[in-house]
Structure 1
């Protein structure tokens, strides 16, 4: 499906992308602590919303 060169490029791209993202996050960690307090509440709310959607799907399936 993909040539060996394309797979090699994809692998190199993913590795480089992850490294750059880690470096960028470490540079901005002080800013994240100031401006993004309480983000875990939004994440928990999102997971609860997804769980409710699955429960509704299961409930109406039967």
Structure 2
């Protein structure tokens, strides 16, 4: 499906991309702590909301 060269390129691209993303995140860590304080609550609420949607969907599907 893919040639060996394409697979090598994809692997190297992923490794370099992740390394650059980690470097940039660590560089901006102080700004993240300052401006995005408390953003974990939004993530938790969003995950709870998605979970409730799945529970509601399965409950309505099981009880016609």
Aligned length: 62
Report runs of 4+ in structure 1 exceeding 3 Å deviation: none
Work out the CA distance in 2 between the residues paired with 1:20 and 1:41: 27
Give the aligned partner of residue 29 of structure 2.
Answer: 29
Ranges in structure 1 where 5+ consecutive residues have no aligned partner: none
TM-score, normalised via structure 2 length: 0.92
Deviation for aligned residue 1:7: 0.8
Work out the CA distance in 2 between the residues paired with 1:47 and 1:16: 30
TM-score, normalised via structure 1 length: 0.95
Deviation for aligned residue 1:48: 0.3
Deviation for aligned residue 1:17: 0.4
When the two chains are superposed, the root-mean-square deviation of aligned CA atoms in Å is 0.7
Work out the CA distance in 1 between the residues paired with 2:57 and 2:50: 11
Other structure's SS at 2:33 match: helix
Per-residue Cα deviation, 1:37-56 (whole angstroms, up to 9, x for no partner): 00100110111011011101
